Structure 1
């Protein structure tokens, strides 16, 4: 049974192809080879900093879910530390780490001349259609076509209760079906129509019986300009903001920390983001071993080789990720009943798939 395998191990084996795409991206290879332009690094770093800032609120929401048992006055011995207490410890450490990380961003950016408010192509008004990708976006700005499909796809039909890694991998290869979109549907992001293989906005409803219907203007993307807008005039201001994928990541954090979501699911999201980040930068670090030359000769001036990659691929970071995983596995192991355990794993799998989907798209596209 899948419940006999630690939850973290089971999730890591559930989507091998998607995980590889998310953690072995061309952006990371370029970062490791020293060929990543300073402008591209600045654009990504600016968005990653916004992501890190939202992380603080997410951790706060998870801490608010925890109720630690009180020590009884007549107890002869102290209570054994519970999984909730272990969760508090790792979450507080996460807050300390992110405060250190944000200062690390600023110090390194200043030292190497990186811009933490760099404008991405998306914010500058370059639409997906203009880039030739043909992608369609949902109301949260999440792309729903291409190899990743919809972030809410579980790879398993509603009626299929077999959540084994083999079944999930097979479902991943079979493509997307309407009944698979449980997470995105629950969050109001799935726009798949009956008989279709992709998400797309439904056709506007026609007025009935002479009713006056006022259609709302479509919402603007995070950059403040519709995709169909005319090219920017020279001198027209462009404002720094979160991209659609950064917004989607922040929205996922807020959803995973909301009242109706369990602490275990929230910890699964936290661990998923951190383990993907660690694996990504370990992949980038693998290129450093094959290189020579001086770091100042790198396209980014050496920030990645000297500072960022060593920090994000370090043993210390790995230990922190493992601690989150240990708490997650401990809490998952306390789930009572095989049916409840399988349902819990299914919910965590949906969050895992969404994190991996977003991770792949958080890296800037490379030519």
Structure 2
């Protein structure tokens, strides 16, 4: 069986992964007891996370090198990993832009706020900004992680590997966290009786757990795993160990960021 880097990472720290994908906030979402104010605060942070995600994608695209030569045919079944990653990133940008618009439409429908407190504008042409002390710690971590997207060690294969693991890590945590909520959802005949008016139950949960999103996440895992497995097959255990050591710090940072991205009523 071919070596799977992503499955190895998932199995490497199960307790940390559980903390990253479960929280009182998610438990309240499953019970229908998440208040509008708390959901609003989280969505406002998640919207700013989307902005950081987009900026990080730009950094990754800036050093992602695809082959100069055209494939043997336009229907080549196995494009190189960098080209597959390029296609995934283009789809990711489309997805998150659609996601932000979905946030805006749903927030208006359910009377939710997507704004955090801002600093005062200092001039006619200066847009208000959200200071760090108004952001969840998890958002601050994600802004730092996306802001530091850069090629891997000089001269090493797959210079995009660390960045790809960062993106896969956040997506798989998001998918598993909300899939867990969906699996534990308390039945309710009238969704509008939920504390958030039914926004999570009737709108957001499907958006964050549907089959299309799951395929999107697993597609990135396959890109990473296929590229790594090819290197390991030719280079052996030494290459496997080297690649794992490169991405372990990224995985640790992902789990820390995800764990601290779920809000509490007191925040």
Task: Tell me which interval the TM-score lies in, with the shorter structure as reference length.
Answer: 0.7 to 0.9
Which residue of structure 1 aligns with residue 122 of structure 2? none
Which residue of structure 2 aligns with residue 264 of structure 1? 161
Q: Which runs of 5+ in 2 are unaligned?
A: 120-130, 154-158
Q: Secondary structure at the match of 1:63?
A: helix
Question: How far did 1:118 drift?
Answer: 3.9
Question: How far did 1:311 drift?
Answer: 0.8
Larger radius of gyration: 1
Which residue of structure 1 aligns with residue 244 of structure 2? 345
Question: How far did 1:14 drift?
Answer: 0.6
State the alpha-carbon separation in 2 of the partners of residues 285 and 76 from structure 1.
44
Contact kept, 8 Å, 1:29 with 1:283, in 2: the verdict is no
Q: TM-score, normalised by structure 1?
A: 0.62
2:140 maps to which of 247, 255, 260 = 247
Show the 5 A alignment for 1:304-323: 304-323=200-219
Any idea what the Cα deviations from partners look like across 1:319-353, whole Å, max 9, x if unmatched? 10010101111121233523233121122121111
Which residue of structure 2 aligns with residue 362 of structure 1? 261
Which residue of structure 2 aligns with residue 329 of structure 1? 225
Any idea what the Cα deviations from partners look like across 1:102-156, whole Å, max 9, x if unmatched? 1011111111011101459xx9xxxxxxxxxxxxxxxxxxxxxxxxxxxxxxxxx
RMSD, aligned CA? 2.3
State the alpha-carbon separation in 2 of the partners of residues 359 and 49 from structure 1.
15
Q: Secondary structure at the match of 1:29?
A: helix
State the alpha-carbon separation in 1 of the partners of residues 228 and 141 from structure 2.
27
Contact kept, 8 Å, 1:22 with 1:276, in 2: the verdict is yes
Q: TM-score, normalised by structure 2?
A: 0.85
Question: How far did 1:94 drift?
Answer: 0.4
Q: Secondary structure at the match of 2:48?
A: helix
Greater helix content:
2
1:277 maps to which of 157, 162, 174 = 174
State the alpha-carbon separation in 1 of the partners of residues 99 and 4 from structure 2.
29
Question: How far did 1:59 drift?
Answer: 1.2
Contact kept, 8 Å, 1:245 with 1:361, in 2: the verdict is yes
Contact kept, 8 Å, 2:52 with 2:142, in 1: the verdict is no
Contact kept, 8 Å, 2:22 with 2:177, in 1: the verdict is yes
Question: How far did 1:46 drift?
Answer: 0.5
Matched, 1:222 2:132: yes
Which residue of structure 1 aligns with residue 94 of structure 2? 96
Any idea what the Cα deviations from partners look like across 1:22-48, whole Å, max 9, x if unmatched? 112111110111100100101111101
Contact kept, 8 Å, 2:5 with 2:244, in 1: the verdict is yes
Which residue of structure 2 aligns with residue 21 of structure 1? 19
Which residue of structure 2 aligns with residue 54 of structure 1? 52
Show the 5 A alignment for 1:159-238: 222-223=132-133
Contact kept, 8 Å, 2:42 with 2:262, in 1: the verdict is yes
2:83 maps to which of 79, 82, 85 = 85
* Residues 1:69 and 1:118: Cα distance change in structure 2 (over 3 Å): closer
Contact kept, 8 Å, 1:6 with 1:329, in 2: the verdict is yes
* Residues 1:304 and 1:76: Cα distance change in structure 2 (over 3 Å): closer
State the alpha-carbon separation in 2 of the partners of residues 57 and 299 from structure 1.
34
Q: Secondary structure at the match of 2:260?
A: helix
* Residues 1:63 and 1:31: Cα distance change in structure 2 (over 3 Å): same
